[in-house]
A and B are shown apart, each in its own frame.
Chain A
Amino acid sequence: MLDYIWLIPAFPAIGFLLNGFLGKRYPKSVVGWVACSALGLSFLTSILVFFELLGMAPAERHFEKVIFDWVVSGSFQTVIGYQIDPLSILMALVVSGVSFFIHIYSVGYMHDDPGYPRYFTYLNLFVFMMLNLVLANNFLLMFVGWEGVGLCSYLLIGFWFEKDSAANAGKKAFVVNRVGDFGFLLGMFLLFTSLGKHGIWTLHFSEVFANAHLLDPTTVTAITLLFFVGACGKSAQIPLYVWLPDAMEGPTPVSSLIHAATMVTAGVYMIARCNVLYSMAPVSMMIVAIVGVATALYTASIGICQNDIKKVLAYSTISQLGYMFLGVGVGAFSAGIFHLMTHAFFKGLLFLGAGSVMHALSGELDMRKMGGLRKKTPVTFWTFFFATMAIAGIPGLSGFFSKDEILWQAFSSPHGYWLLWAVAALAAGMTAFYMFRALFMTFWGECRAEEHVKHHIHESPKIMTFPLMILAVLSVIGGYIGVPHVLGGANHIHEFLAPVLGGGAEPAKAHAAVALLSQAWASGGEGGASSATLEYVLMAVSVAIAFIGIGMAYLFYVKNPALPKSAAEKLNGLYRLVFNKYYVDEIYQLLFINSLKNLGTGLWRGFDEFIIDGTVNGIAYLFGWLSNAMRRMQTGLVQNYAFSMVIGGVILAGYYVVRAIFY
């Protein structure tokens, strides 16, 4: 089965081609079937490969399949090849699985849209690119997938391109992503040339990581920081997060798939994949952790004041990504990946639920006009409720285990610091608050919708609620593969990912440098009774903070609905600042966009039009003028011609005379 791992990305590629070229020819139902079955087959193949991998010994779990040679240039060789190891197969499972359910949901959600075939074409293309990204065995193929998902994000955000706001949002996403990609490219170049100085010309993961110890720390810090810039762009951290809230212009399943479950997690995956490099550069890791936790707090604060349900979820996504970066920043790579997985489940579910709410309310997005949907849309309500509990970190659900693992590692890991834990805990409290605020405003109390909307409130069709239920189940039970040792669990996911990410009993043969990591893990994280007590205490504190957040949300939005308004009026300045997202978009416009636009216009008018066109036109004009002047020589008078001959003769004779005189 392992030989067929290339099928995992191939199925969505075939779906893309079929729907892309023939999608308009056959009926809608066939389009849906083609897309969903492509994903289904891909998911099935991933599961089969996963089980085959489980059957191998942990140290053996590394397999590469080369499709064909891509670049063969001297001693540098790159292939189109896929590698299967615990990290990539986990990512592939998450991507293909969640995508599969979202595809099924989209069949129902996008049913009335005229761009139905185009939508599924883009969606399949996106999954293909994402699978390339996670399964790639070298940096270049990963970058192809990286760029490809950026492209599909642009296509899908601007799916309803007739709307100006959607087209602009797509553009913004692509451009901001590009800034990040530039950093990523520079990092790749630096890595390539640095290794090249030692005579090793490769961008293959296993070869790079095996030889990474040859590089000096400064270079590795530079490389990892550049990679992190790319991750900031793709995974929406400060300062490149501005595209994600605008990306909510796209269809809701797109937001769920791309901007919750898969694309935005590419940055975290990349850092986890390059954990060998990051472990060699503690400065970078510190920066990653600080940026991650700062983003988490900052966007959580913005999420508190938003009224658009999708925007709340968008800021929540950025915040949770901050958590993931905090996790990988303190060296807890497997914790970050674990949170990535659980986040895919509950955030994907939250977005789909929001889509279901919009479907029920005929497209209403403003939470102030919602309410009382609890009785009318029960399935949506209960699935949304479970997802909200998961994200808030209620014990027993998946989010609790992953988030707590990150918080514990933030406190106790060799790279961690108590301040990081404190800020993260505060952000966790704010997360609980705004998520339950969203829940209460949407589902509790009196229905504040308009009359004609109220009449049409209905539960979504089975094809939409079925994925909601599946994801809800996963949100609840998905965490049990990562139960930490202190609570009696075996932390299966940590053990599973250990050959790649360090901390396990024996590192995989292909990851020799990881041996150093596992030693660090052994001393830092687990063992010791005192640290176990500390872990319990911290766990209890975070749970308490979560319940405080929920309680405050209950107070503000169920018990005393007038409280939010009066609080907003009392803290008017602060409220306006936060409500307007700290005016960051306006600042960027002022600082960067206007100056770049002016530069572009200046270059266009000044350089292109004036200098280049001027030169070309000027040369033509010069020749015209010259010939105009010269044609007056043709007077038609013979004696003028004789005159010019005399001049020539004089010059000739004069030359010889002068030569005779002076030499």
Chain B
Amino acid sequence: MAGNVGIIFEWLIFLGLGFASVLASVLLVTRKNPIHSALFLVMTFLCVAGLYILLYSQFIAIIQVLVYAGAIVMLIVFVVMLLDLENELRSTLKIVYSKVIGSLLALLFLLAILYSAVAKSPTGKMGSDTPERVTSNVKAVGEVLFTQYLFPFEILSVLLVAAIIGAVILSKKRT
């Protein structure tokens, strides 16, 4: 019984965070006010970060909070406030068939995913990082990132520089 406590706790956390993230995302998609949507996005991010911790990926969880919930959502909120957007008017919504059919197809896609998740267990070559070996996630990530994946890492930095320059140039006022 005592040995089950951990696992039961894990289940509880998982179910809680799972439902919360789904609820938040549904609300995100349905709110009229974009600020509300942004806030629900934050909630989704935080729930997912929790799920990452459950999966023993602490590094990614922290990065998620820092980058996604911290920087990206902040950017979005700033832009929304800068553009002074008004609420999306429901009354002018007309039934656009492509959107309806698209939604139905997305649900079909969901069914496909659900089926494949249930029918097959994750196949693929088992790696070597057993939980016993990976004591610290950050250390493990660093080990791999700066040795095996160094080149993509450097390319990524170039990408970020390009993004920065692009953002700056794009939002310069034309004089």
Contacts and interface: CB of A to CB of B under 8 A. Distances in A.
Contacts of A643: 98-99, 101-102
A654 B112 contact: yes
A639 B99 contact: yes
A479 to B, nearest CB: 104
Contacts of B105: 646-647, 650
B22 interface: no
B115 A639 contact: no
5 residue pairs, one from A and one from B, having the closest CB atoms: A653-B112, A643-B102, A657-B112, A650-B105, A650-B109
A480 to B, nearest CB: 108
Nearest to A660: B119
Nearest to A637: B98
B113 interface: yes
Contact of A646 (B102, B115, B120): B102
Interface of B is mostly: helix
B119 A646 contact: no
B106 interface: yes
A646 B101 CA distance: 10
Given A639-B98, A643-B101, A657-B115, 11 more contacts: A639-B99, A643-B98, A643-B102, A646-B106, A650-B105, A653-B112, A653-B113, A656-B116, A660-B119, A660-B120, A661-B115
Interface string B112-156: 110110011000000000000000000000000000000000000
Interface string A616-653: 00000000000000000000000110110011011001
Contacts of B15: none
B164 interface: no
A639 B99 CA distance: 8
Interface in B72-104: 98-99, 101-102
6 contacts: A639-B102, A646-B109, A647-B105, A650-B108, A650-B112, A657-B115
Looking at A639, A650, A660, which has the most chain B CB atoms within 10 Å of its CB?
A650
A308 B112 CA distance: 99
Which size class do A's interface residues fall under? 10 to 19
A637 to B, nearest CB: 9
A143 to B, nearest CB: 74
Contacts of B120: 660
Contacts of B113: 653
Interface residues of B, number: 14
Nearest to B113: A653
Nearest to B112: A653
B88 to A, nearest CB: 14
A653 B111 CA distance: 10
B108 to A, nearest CB: 6
Contacts of B101: 643
Contacts of B112: 650, 653-654, 656-657
A656 B116 CA distance: 9
A650 B108 CA distance: 7
A657 B102 contact: no
A647 B106 CA distance: 8
A642 B109 CA distance: 14
Given A653-B109, A654-B108, A642 B102 contact: yes
Nearest to B116: A657
A639 B101 CA distance: 12
Contacts of A649: 109
B90 to A, nearest CB: 17
A660 B109 contact: no
Nearest to A645: B102
Contacts of A661: 115
Contacts of A653: 109, 112-113, 116
A1 B99 CA distance: 101
Nearest to B114: A657
A642 B106 CA distance: 11
A123 B115 CA distance: 95
A653 B99 CA distance: 20
A144 B114 CA distance: 85
Interface string A122-138: 00000000000000000
Contacts of A654: 108, 112
B117 to A, nearest CB: 11
